[in-house]
């Protein structure tokens, strides 16, 4: 079964937000900004998470993998994906076998990590 048929059968809609230039606050700290929201279909596979305590507080952080059909989608590291009420930051983007964009077997694999508020 090809990735295109798997995505067509099991995909969910996710919102991809591109990282903007950001700004500086009054004391010079960087404030991130995101724009260009794009709705795409993807298969999301949550693979694990952190311990019950993360960054000194009791909160569980999830990580996983997203599969998108096609290549050259404009998805980059540090962009964000919103899925099922949670926001995930993109940690890695790769295209297996370096397939051309015209191939029906071409897909993009994205490693994601949940953003904690």
Is the distance from CB of 109 to CB of 90 less than 8 angstroms? no
Q: How far apart (Å, rounded) are the C-alpha atoms in residues 69 and 109?
A: 9
pLDDT band at 93 (very low <50, low <70, confident <90, very high): very high
Q: Span 55-83, mean pLDDT?
A: 83
Q: What angle do CA 52, 54, 60 make, to 5 degrees?
A: 45
Q: Is 57's pLDDT higher than 70?
A: no
The single residue listed with the structure tokens 């993807």 is 42
Output the pLDDT for position 34: 80
Q: Is 65's pLDDT higher than 90?
A: yes
Instruction: Tell me what the pLDDT averaged over the chain comes to.
Output: 82
- Ordered DSSP codes for 51-101: -SEETTEE---EEEEEEEESS-----TT-EEEETTEEEEEEEEE-GGG--T
Query: What phi, psi does 7 have (nearest 5°)?
Result: -65, -40
Q: Which of 73-82, 83-92, 93-102 is predicted with the least confidence, judged by mean pLDDT? A: 93-102
Q: Is 75's pLDDT higher than 60?
A: yes
CATH code for the domain in which residue 87 is found: 2.40.10.370
Q: How far apart (Å, rounded) are the C-alpha atoms in residues 57 and 98?
A: 41
User: Which residue range(s) make up the domain with 92?
Assistant: 3-114
Domain count, the chain: 1
Q: How far apart (Å, rounded) are the C-alpha atoms in residues 71 and 7?
A: 14
Q: Is 101's pLDDT higher than 60?
A: yes
Output the pLDDT for position 52: 61
Output the pLDDT for position 50: 62
Is the distance from CB of 112 to CB of 64 less than 8 angstroms? yes
Q: What is the pLDDT of residues 5-42, one digit of tens each?
A: 888 888 999 999 888 777 777 887 877 778 778 899 99
């Amino acid at each position: 079964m090809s990735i295109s048929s798997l995505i067509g059968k099991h995909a969910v809609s996710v919102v991809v937000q591109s990282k903007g230039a950001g700004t500086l606050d009054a004391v010079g700290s960087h404030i991130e900004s995101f724009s260009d929201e794009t709705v795409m279909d993807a298969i999301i596979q949550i693979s694990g998470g952190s311990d019950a305590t993360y960054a000194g507080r009791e909160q569980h952080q999830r990580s996983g993998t997203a599969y998108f059909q096609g290549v050259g989608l404009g998805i980059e590291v540090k962009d964000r994906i919103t899925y099922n009420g949670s926001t995930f930051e993109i940690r890695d983007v790769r295209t297996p076998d370096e397939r051309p964009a015209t191939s029906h077997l071409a897909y993009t694999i994205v490693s994601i990590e949940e953003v904690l508020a």
